[in-house]
């Protein structure tokens, strides 16, 4: 694998919903500072994998180790305290707080001052929060309510929130979903410069192949709950199985794996 | 054998009671499913059903006319429901959930006074049903044949409504709207008429449930709130929007009540337990247990979050110079009030009431606004504070000063216990569970004669000698209320207050930055309970007595009305709302017998014209001015 001691080590991870094996025994690792893209067609199990790594879903089997520490069974907030930040597919921020207060909230939580009832929250490490906003290009809008921002700006604020406690690992679920092509590139370029500077590793899922091939150091491909390929972008681009999954072969994927099943109907 | 016979008789009795309860709950559930309105006035439709049936039967006579009268009553109330929906509710479907509640509560007040005006305050018992006035022997006991008829009615109506919902186009639309009303609208269905029709049907079912009770229970003006309480419980236990769930829940609760009555007073390991007294709380106990084990009711499903949500709240701003100046003038005039009004001693008495209400409403706003937890049982903590202080003075013989400190602590501990369960739920379910806890607290206070004085309450709860005069007590109240309100405000600007708002805005994001949402809410709940308890303790010593009224559901609703009246999204809102409400209540009640209707009308006008509340409206005007200035 890529680095001597991986930051994140996922092995034998599985999750079923009813009879459907959404994720079926996958293994991968992530080195410090690495940008790893998790791609695959709709229904491949990307979101399920993602939600298991951040603690929202409990896997049926397998292990997830961060710097050797077992993360299975921990709540999302406990995992965050171990240094895992995240952004959501549909950006989630605090609508009734201003932009800078959103970031301050993350700083307050990181410093374990959530139950302080006397001091004023609006003065709490405001300069540090503004500096983070500066880095994502949102300092000019620091005192606007988050509810009035354009969506692309909300995504930037979310990135600043996620970076507030200097995470070792950043999880991004379709970071550019719902954005215009220009905005997408800006956001990913920004993300890349931020994480490279701080040595933060990133695991992200993404539908936009432009983004994936431009920014990922390495790509793993999921199809029907299994990892079918992994490697550098160029290798993945040329991988026949990946091409089949994405573009089809004239046959369905199912018929390809089980070569002789006669005329199986296409999967829904 | 006799024990068995009486047991069976009680079970059958329970079944008969379940039928009417189911009819009311079915209507409530249908309305909620489609319109997402929690209709507080549903109990009022039930009450109207009995009253109208009484008049209709008196008019149409005893034979076939009797049954015609019942049907007519149900249809008439159904029409009333349709009118109410078109005139009032149609205007507020897009308003925040709480405003809809407030509007339907205003309807409760108006309908109650309308009934008082038409039928008077006397209880009215209807005639027996023709042909079903007798009784049948069951296991050697006479069982009223009308009750057997009722037992059949419940499942029959369930079947008919089920057919309506599954076999007709209207039913398909209703079921579709229950699942996703935006989608139904997007498919070109005229939602306005669908909503009106469903509301009318719901009102009709409630009135039918009432009309059928005509020979069994006298029509009286308390039926609206007792019925809505029971119906809420049934709907929540069964699962919002599930008719079979409502039927099962109605059966379960009616039978448990019947069993409690049958058990009567029993000695368990030397402890005497009066099960018949449990009937007042049994439904709320069932609800509390069900909501903790199955948060969406027995047959319910998790509610999908609505796509259209209200406008986001503006960020909190520290008061500017204007606000500080207004606050300073206000405090100074409050300090100067007693000497200024020395010739009218009643002013200071009313001012104490207003101040207590301000603290009570501010404490509710703390969890309701910034916390996003809509408690329907905040009176529980007010009452616990009041009873706590009163009992400590009377039974434990503590000095008043100590009781004033420990009373709120009692309420705080109550809020810690009830809050632990309540914060596990959200939205309507949280509201109902808090209501359940308040009703349990009320029932305990109402029945524990030896400690709480039962329905009479406790008297002789007077302040210490140095605080005995109205003026001295006014200054004590003023100091504590101002300090309490200021502390609550200070907390809202602290990291904790921000965490509470963050948890409300996005639980998902809060969790992802390490905020334990439930724990933050729990702490907020306990703090609100503590301050409500302080208001309650102050209240007890200001009146010298305390009665179960102080933790009744009506008191909880008063607090909700105060907060919404002032404006839930402004920090000054609860204080403004509490002052206006208490003053209005006092003024209107002294001038007319029909103060409830007037209060209801005022609430309706406010909801329809000033949905942001009084303080919210003022802030809007000030902000608009400020913006206009800024542009120039």
Q: Do A79 and A171 fall within a single domain? A: yes
Q: Do A171 and A143 fall within a single domain? A: no
Q: How far apart, in Å, are the Cα atoms of B443 and each of A135, B225, B361, B447?
A: 59, 15, 23, 6
**Ranges A253-262, B19-28, B462-471, B562-571: which has the least confidence:** A253-262
- With cut-offs at 50, 70 and 90, classify the pLDDT of residue B83: very high
The answer to whether residue A129 sits within a structural domain is yes
Chain B residues with beta carbon closer than 8 angstroms to that of A84 = none
Rounded distance, CA B24 to CA B40, Å?
A: 12
B510: Cβ–Cβ under 8 A, 6 or more apart, which residues?
A94, B499, B502, B503, B517, B520
Q: Tens of pLDDT along B569-600?
A: 888 889 999 999 999 888 888 888 888 888 78
A147: contact with B, CB 8 A cutoff: yes
Q: Does the distance separating the beta carbons of B495 and A116 come in below 8 Å?
A: yes
The answer to whether residue B301 sits within a structural domain is no
**Alpha-carbon gap: A60 to the closest alpha carbon of chain B (Å):** 22
**Alpha-carbon gap: B316 to the closest alpha carbon of chain A (Å):** 7
Q: Do B377 and B247 fall within a single domain? A: no
- With cut-offs at 50, 70 and 90, classify the pLDDT of residue B307: very low
Q: Tens of pLDDT along B173-218?
A: 888 887 777 888 888 888 888 889 999 999 999 999 999 988 888 8
Rounded distance, CA B207 to CA A239, Å?
A: 70
Q: How far apart, in Å, are the Cα atoms of B503 and each of A24, B176, B477, B520?
A: 34, 32, 33, 8
Average pLDDT over residues B147-155: 86
Rounded distance, CA B428 to CA B38, Å?
A: 8
Q: Do A45 and A10 fall within a single domain? A: yes
- The whole-model pTM stands at 0.85
The answer, yes or no, to whether residue B135 has pLDDT greater than 80, is: no
Q: Does the distance separating the beta carbons of A165 and B496 come in below 8 Å?
A: no
Q: Do B188 and B327 fall within a single domain? A: no
Closest residue on chain B to A115 (Cα): B496
User: What's the domain count of chain A?
Assistant: 2
* Containing structural domain, residue B448: 322-629
Q: Which of B475, B442, B447 is nearest to B549 (CA)?
A: B442
**Alpha-carbon gap: B400 to the closest alpha carbon of chain A (Å):** 29
Q: Do A76 and A192 fall within a single domain? A: yes
Instruction: Provide the b/e sequence for B378-396 (b: ≥16 CB within 10 Å).
Output: bbbbbbbbbbbbbbbbbee
The answer to whether residue B167 sits within a structural domain is yes
The answer to whether residue A218 sits within a structural domain is yes
Q: How many CB atoms lie within 10 A of CB A130?
A: 17
Q: Does the distance separating the beta carbons of A121 and B498 come in below 8 Å?
A: yes
A120: contact with B, CB 8 A cutoff: yes
If you count them, how many residues does chain A have? 268
The answer to whether residue B302 sits within a structural domain is no
Q: Look up tokens 């029909």; give the residue.
A: B594
Report the pLDDT value the prediction gives residue A249, as an integer from 0 to 100.
61
Q: Does the distance separating the beta carbons of A96 and B501 come in below 8 Å?
A: yes
Report the pLDDT value the prediction gives residue B36, as an integer from 0 to 100.
80
Q: How many CB atoms lie within 10 A of CB B82?
A: 18
Chain A residues with beta carbon closer than 8 angstroms to that of B515 = 77, 105, 109, 114
* Nearest Cβ partner for B312 among A76, A96, A165: A96
Angle, in degrees to the nearest 10, between helices B145-167 and B243-263: 160
A247: contact with B, CB 8 A cutoff: no
On whether the CB atoms of residues B508 and B386 are closer than 8 A, the answer is no
Report the pLDDT value the prediction gives residue B323, as an integer from 0 to 100.
84
Q: Do B330 and B288 fall within a single domain? A: no
Rounded distance, CA B221 to CA B210, Å?
A: 13
**Alpha-carbon gap: A149 to the closest alpha carbon of chain B (Å):** 12
Q: Per CB distance under 8 Å, which residues of B are interface residues toward A? A: 311-316, 318, 490-491, 493-499, 501-502, 504-506, 508-516, 520, 523
Q: Which of A66, A37, A34, A39 is nearest to A53 (CA)?
A: A66
Q: Do B186 and B335 fall within a single domain? A: no
Report the pLDDT value the prediction gives residue B310, as an integer from 0 to 100.
52
Q: Do A66 and A171 fall within a single domain? A: yes
The answer to whether residue A69 sits within a structural domain is yes
Closest residue on chain A to B521 (Cα): A115
* Nearest Cβ partner for A124 among B495, B508, B513: B495
Q: Does the distance separating the beta carbons of B509 and A92 come in below 8 Å?
A: yes
Q: What is the CA radius of gyration of chain A?
A: 20
Average pLDDT over residues B361-372: 94
The answer to whether residue A261 sits within a structural domain is no
Rounded distance, CA A198 to CA B17, Å?
A: 69
A155: contact with B, CB 8 A cutoff: no
- With cut-offs at 50, 70 and 90, classify the pLDDT of residue A250: low
Rounded distance, CA A101 to CA A118, Å?
A: 17
The answer to whether residue B353 sits within a structural domain is yes
Q: Do A101 and A39 fall within a single domain? A: no
Average pLDDT over residues A211-234: 89
Q: Does the distance separating the beta carbons of A121 and B494 come in below 8 Å?
A: yes
Q: Which of A107, A216, A222 is nearest to A166 (CA)?
A: A107
Rounded distance, CA B148 to CA B135, Å?
A: 9
Q: Do B289 and B402 fall within a single domain? A: no
Q: Do B344 and B284 fall within a single domain? A: no
More confident call, B168 vs B278: B168
**Ranges B31-35, B135-139, B421-425, B556-560: which has the least confidence:** B135-139
Average pLDDT over residues B395-399: 86
More confident call, A47 vs B521: B521
The answer to whether residue B306 sits within a structural domain is no
Q: Do B260 and B343 fall within a single domain? A: no
* Containing structural domain, residue A141: 95-153
The answer to whether residue A242 sits within a structural domain is no
Phi, psi for B61 (deg, rounded to 5): 90, -175
Of the ranges A264-268, B79-83, B103-107, B441-445, which is most confident? B79-83
**Strand, helix or coil for residue B374:** coil
Token code pair at residue B303 = 């509610």
Q: Do A27 and A65 fall within a single domain? A: yes
Helix (H) or strand (E) holding B281: helix B275-293
Q: Do B19 and B130 fall within a single domain? A: yes
On whether the CB atoms of residues B534 and A130 are closer than 8 A, the answer is no
Q: Do A8 and A47 fall within a single domain? A: yes
* Nearest Cβ partner for B495 among A96, A98, A114: A114
Q: Do B286 and B338 fall within a single domain? A: no
Residues paired with A13 in a beta bridge: A26
Q: Does the distance separating the beta carbons of A86 and B496 come in below 8 Å?
A: no
The answer to whether residue A252 sits within a structural domain is no
Q: Do B363 and B405 fall within a single domain? A: yes
CATH of the domain at B352: 1.10.3470
CATH of the domain at A180: 3.40.50.300
Q: Do B194 and B52 fall within a single domain? A: yes
**Alpha-carbon gap: A114 to the closest alpha carbon of chain B (Å):** 5
Q: Does the distance separating the beta carbons of A81 and B514 come in below 8 Å?
A: yes
Q: How far apart, in Å, are the Cα atoms of A192 and each of A87, A138, A196, B139, B257?
A: 14, 17, 6, 83, 65
Q: Do A79 and A118 fall within a single domain? A: no
**Maximum distance among all Cα pairs of chain B, rounded to whole angstroms:** 90
Average pLDDT over residues A64-79: 92
The answer, yes or no, to whether residue A260 has pLDDT greater than 50, is: no
Q: What percent of chain A has pLDDT over 70?
A: 91
* A vs B: CB pairs below 8 A: 114
Report the pLDDT value the prediction gives residue B66, as an integer from 0 to 100.
87
The answer, yes or no, to whether residue B24 has pLDDT greater than 80, is: yes
Report the pLDDT value the prediction gives residue B47, as an integer from 0 to 100.
95
The answer to whether residue B308 sits within a structural domain is no
The answer to whether residue B479 sits within a structural domain is yes
Predicted complex ipTM: 0.87
Chain B residues with beta carbon closer than 8 angstroms to that of A101 = 315, 498
The answer to whether residue A256 sits within a structural domain is no
**Maximum distance among all Cα pairs of chain A, rounded to whole angstroms:** 72
User: What's the domain count of chain B?
Assistant: 2
Q: Look up tokens 């990291």; give the residue.
A: B495
Average pLDDT over residues A153-161: 92
Report the pLDDT value the prediction gives residue A111, as an integer from 0 to 100.
93
For testing contact with chain B, the best of A81, A82, A94 (most B CBs within 10 A): A94
**Alpha-carbon gap: A144 to the closest alpha carbon of chain B (Å):** 9
For testing contact with chain B, the best of A84, A105, A114, A143 (most B CBs within 10 A): A114
B250: Cβ–Cβ under 8 A, 6 or more apart, which residues?
B18, B19, B21, B22, B25, B154, B234, B238
Q: Tens of pLDDT along A91-134?
A: 889 999 999 999 999 999 999 999 999 999 899 999 999 999 99
The burial class, CB within 10 Å (0-12 / 13-18 / 19+), for B207 is buried
* Nearest Cβ partner for A119 among B311, B314, B494: B494
The answer, yes or no, to whether residue A267 has pLDDT greater than 70, is: no
On whether the CB atoms of residues B599 and B552 are closer than 8 A, the answer is no
Tell me which DSSP letter residue A16 carries.
Answer: E
The answer to whether residue B611 sits within a structural domain is yes
**Alpha-carbon gap: B550 to the closest alpha carbon of chain A (Å):** 30
Q: What percent of chain B has pLDDT over 90?
A: 33
Report the pLDDT value the prediction gives residue A220, as an integer from 0 to 100.
93
Q: Do A41 and A173 fall within a single domain? A: yes
- With cut-offs at 50, 70 and 90, classify the pLDDT of residue B157: confident
Q: Do A61 and A176 fall within a single domain? A: yes
Q: Do B345 and B472 fall within a single domain? A: yes
- With cut-offs at 50, 70 and 90, classify the pLDDT of residue A265: very low
Q: Do A189 and A229 fall within a single domain? A: yes
More confident call, B41 vs B129: B41
Q: Does the distance separating the beta carbons of A109 and B509 come in below 8 Å?
A: no
On whether the CB atoms of residues B615 and B567 are closer than 8 A, the answer is yes
Q: Does the distance separating the beta carbons of B516 and A92 come in below 8 Å?
A: no
Rounded distance, CA B311 to CA B326, Å?
A: 28
What torsion do the CA atoms of A183, A186, A188, A192 make, to the nearest 10 degrees?
A: -170
A47: contact with B, CB 8 A cutoff: no
CA atoms within 13 A on the CB side of B440: 17
The answer to whether residue A88 sits within a structural domain is no
Q: Does the distance separating the beta carbons of B513 and A165 come in below 8 Å?
A: yes
**Alpha-carbon gap: B182 to the closest alpha carbon of chain A (Å):** 20
* Nearest Cβ partner for A105 among B311, B513, B516: B513
On whether the CB atoms of residues B571 and B618 are closer than 8 A, the answer is no
Alpha carbon B125 to its chain's center: 27
């Amino acid at each position: 694998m890529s680095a001597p001691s991986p930051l994140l080590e996922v092995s034998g991870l599985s999750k079923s919903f009813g009879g459907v094996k959404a994720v079926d025994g996958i293994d991968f690792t992530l080195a410090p500072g690495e940008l790893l893209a998790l791609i695959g067609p709709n229904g491949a199990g990307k979101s399920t994998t993602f939600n298991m790594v951040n603690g929202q879903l409990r896997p049926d089997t397998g292990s997830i180790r961060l710097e050797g520490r077992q993360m299975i069974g921990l709540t999302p907030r406990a995992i965050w305290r171990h240094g895992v930040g995240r952004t959501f597919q549909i950006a989630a921020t605090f609508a009734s707080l201003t932009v800078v207060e959103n970031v301050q909230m993350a700083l307050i939580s990181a410093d374990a001052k959530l139950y302080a009832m006397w001091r004023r929250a609006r003065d709490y490490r405001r300069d540090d929060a503004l500096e983070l906003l500066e880095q994502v290009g949102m300092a000019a809008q620091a005192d606007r309510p988050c509810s009035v921002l354009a969506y692309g700006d909300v995504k930037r604020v979310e990135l600043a929130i996620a970076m507030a406690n200097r995470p070792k690992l950043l999880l991004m679920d379709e970071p550019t979903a719902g954005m215009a092509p220009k905005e997408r590139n800006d956001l990913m370029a920004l993300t890349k410069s931020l994480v490279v500077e701080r040595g933060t590793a990133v695991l992200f899922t993404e539908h936009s192949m432009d983004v994936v091939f431009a920014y990922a150091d390495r790509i793993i491909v999921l199809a029907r709950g299994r990892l079918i390929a992994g490697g550098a972008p160029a290798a993945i681009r040329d991988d026949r199985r990946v091409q089949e999954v994405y573009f089809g072969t004239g046959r369905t994927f199912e018929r390809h794996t089980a070569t002789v099943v006669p005329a199986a109907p296409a999967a829904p | 054998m006799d024990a068995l016979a009486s047991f069976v008789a009680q079970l059958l009795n329970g079944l008969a009671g379940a039928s009417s309860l189911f009819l009311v709950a079915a209507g409530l559930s249908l309305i909620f499913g489609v319109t997402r309105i929690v209709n507080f006035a549903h109990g009022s439709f039930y009450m109207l059903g009995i009253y109208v049936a009484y008049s209709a039967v008196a008019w149409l006579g005893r034979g076939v006319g009797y049954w015609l009268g019942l049907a007519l009553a149900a249809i008439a109330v159904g029409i009333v429901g349709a009118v109410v929906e078109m005139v009032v509710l149609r205007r507020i479907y897009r308003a925040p959930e709480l405003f809809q509640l407030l509007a339907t509560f205003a309807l409760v007040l108006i309908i109650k006074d309308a009934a008082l005006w038409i039928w008077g305050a006397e209880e009215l018992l209807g005639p027996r049903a023709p042909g079903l006035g007798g009784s049948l022997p069951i296991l050697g006991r006479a069982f009223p044949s009308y009750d057997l008829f009722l037992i059949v009615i419940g499942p029959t109506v369930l079947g008919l409504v089920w057919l309506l919902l599954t076999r007709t186009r209207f039913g398909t639309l209703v079921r579709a709207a229950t699942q996703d009303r935006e989608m139904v609208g997007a498919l070109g269905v005229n939602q306005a008429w669908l909503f009106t029709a469903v509301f009318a049907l719901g009102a009709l079912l409630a009135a039918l449930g009432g009309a059928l009770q005509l020979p069994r229970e006298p029509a009286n003006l308390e039926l609206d709130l007792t019925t809505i309480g029971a119906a809420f419980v049934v709907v929540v236990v069964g699962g919002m929007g599930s008719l079979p769930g409502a039927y099962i829940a109605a059966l379960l609760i009616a039978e448990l009540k019947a069993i409690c009555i049958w058990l009567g007073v029993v000695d368990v390991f030397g402890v005497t337990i009066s099960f018949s007294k449990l009937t007042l709380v049994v439904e709320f106990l069932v609800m509390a247990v069900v909501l903790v084990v199955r948060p969406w009711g027995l047959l319910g499903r998790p509610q999908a979050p609505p796509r259209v949500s209200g406008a986001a709240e503006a960020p909190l701003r520290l008061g500017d110079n204007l606000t500080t100046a207004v606050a300073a003038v206000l405090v100074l005039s409050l300090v100067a009030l007693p000497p200024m009004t020395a010739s009218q001693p009643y002013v200071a008495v009313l001012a104490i009431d207003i101040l207590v209400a301000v603290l009570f409403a501010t404490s509710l706003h703390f969890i309701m606004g910034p916390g996003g937890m809509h408690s329907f049982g905040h009176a529980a903590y007010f009452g616990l504070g009041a009873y706590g202080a009163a009992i400590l003075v009377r039974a434990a013989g503590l000095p008043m000063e100590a009781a004033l400190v420990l009373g709120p602590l009692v309420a705080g501990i109550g809020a810690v216990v009830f809050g632990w369960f309540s914060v596990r739920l959200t939205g309507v379910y949280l509201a109902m569970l808090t209501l359940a806890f308040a009703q349990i607290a009320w029932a305990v206070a109402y029945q524990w004669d030896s400690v709480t004085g039962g329905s009479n309450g406790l008297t002789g709860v007077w302040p210490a000698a140095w605080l005995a005069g109205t003026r001295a007590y006014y200054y004590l109240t003023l100091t504590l209320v101002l300090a309490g309100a200021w502390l609550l405000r200070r907390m809202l600007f602290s990291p904790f207050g921000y965490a509470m708002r963050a948890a409300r805005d996005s639980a998902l994001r809060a969790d992802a930055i390490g905020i334990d949402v439930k724990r933050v809410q729990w702490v907020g709940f306990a703090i609100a309970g503590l301050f409500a308890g302080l208001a309650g303790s102050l209240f007890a010593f200001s009146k010298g007595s305390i009665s179960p009224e102080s933790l009744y559901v009506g008191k909880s609703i008063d607090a909700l009305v105060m907060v919404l009246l002032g404006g839930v999204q402004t920090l000054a809102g609860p204080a403004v709302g509490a002052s206006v409400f208490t003053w209005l209540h006092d003024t209107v009640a002294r001038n007319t017998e029909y103060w409830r209707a007037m209060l209801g009308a005022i609430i309706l006008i406010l909801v329809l014209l000033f949905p942001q509340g009084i303080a919210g409206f003022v802030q809007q005007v000030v902000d608009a001015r400020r913006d206009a200035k800024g542009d120039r």
